[in-house]
A and B are shown apart, each in its own frame.
Chain A
Amino acid sequence: MEDFELKNIWQAYDRRIEEARVLNLQSWALNLRCFETLQTEKARYRLNTLAAYKGWVAVLGVLWVLFLAMLVWGNWFSNPYFTISVGIIMLFNVFAVAVYIRHIIIIRQINYSESITSTQEKLAVLKLSTINSTRILMLQIPFYTTWFWHSSWINYSSSSFWLITFPITLLFIILAIFLYHNISLKNMHKKWLKLLMMAGPEYKSLLEAQSFIAEIDQFKKDLI
């Protein structure tokens, strides 16, 4: 088979498209009046799947932050351990919400008229940035074990505090530091990380984004 034969087949296909109403989509594409409906009814609500997911997470995050803010406000230093712990958890969540909102803005600003490798690379990198925010969020874990501390408890039941509660917090500090250092793209294949990330619906898209970046890199290489 010669090159021109491939092109002839494609041209025959082209003619078929012109002649025949091949698919429903063609009747849709031709009936551009439908586009008016799309413009007015659908388009203004439109976000792509990733942005929509991040949008929902951001909304839930805002609600969670508001709830935590109410707790901090309502217990303002009546118990410093509670106020500081919940306050720090709240700050981590403010960070997460800000990251998600920033992602949504970037997604909406992505320019599809740029070259394919450049646009697709940006999209994939954006997806992968989730892993960075995840590892930072891990640092809040120990504060979930300190909000119920109280000075009277530490002073009067010091043995149970120092022998049970404090070591548990210490373990969570070690765990948080371990996760912060080890949640990374190079460890994505590891079983424990897979199990941890499986809980999040973004895991699959992270893996796909990672392999797609490799694909784009390979594609961009000049082969001789």
Chain B
Amino acid sequence: MDTQQSREEFYKLITFNKGIIIKICNSYCADAGYREDLAQEIIYHLWKSGHSFNNNYKFTTWMYRIALNVAISFYRGKTKAATIVSLENHHTELADTGGEEAEANINLLQHFISQLNALDKALMILYLDEKTYAEIATVLGITETNVATKLSRIKARLKQNFATVNQ
């Protein structure tokens, strides 16, 4: 990826799929300063790994692999305190986008996801982004059965968390 044309294509693909990067950064980094670093790191690795993109896979699947791998490596290097999204922190960032109840639910979901371990977090993000079990299994390198079992446990945990808060 070094011609002007491929650079333009890369920009377009990143812009079109920017939500993936933003969601992953938000989930793995509580600190806005770190998030910016992480986003740069992800885009850098996407650019650097351009040659490894295989047309047999979806672009987003390839992008998830790289972005999650970079985020998890980044996450391992930071303290836990910098990785758990506090409700207050997130509330400030989304405050002026309307809908109080929806807002509260988004904040809660982000908060609960940030409490998961690095690998469970990746699994949940992929599930919520409507990836199939086969795609999730490929990105994570585990079996589909394992994906299904783990997902049901994590979902149960998240629902339990929501239920506790809503009591």
Contacts and interface: CB of A to CB of B under 8 A. Distances in A.
Interface of A: 1, 3, 6-7, 9-10, 12-14, 16-20, 22-26, 28-30, 32, 35, 38-39, 42-43, 46, 48-49, 111-120, 123, 205, 208-209, 212, 215-216, 219-224
**Looking at chain A's contact residues, is the secondary structure mostly helix, strand, loop, or mixed?**
helix
The interface centre, meaning the residue of A18, A24, A39, A120 with most chain B CB atoms within 10 A of its CB, is A120
Contact of B119 (A7, A208, A216): A216
B58 to A, nearest CB: 13
B69 A112 contact: yes
Contacts, number: 165
Contact of B130 (A7, A30, A49, A223): A7
Interface residues of B, number: 68
B105 interface: yes
28 contacts: A6-B155, A7-B128, A7-B130, A10-B129, A12-B102, A17-B18, A20-B96, A22-B93, A22-B94, A23-B25, A23-B35, A25-B32, A32-B43, A35-B43, A35-B47, A38-B40, A38-B43, A38-B44, A42-B44, A43-B48, A48-B73, A113-B53, A116-B119, A212-B76, A215-B118, A220-B141, A221-B146, A222-B149
Nearest to A115: B141
B6 interface: no
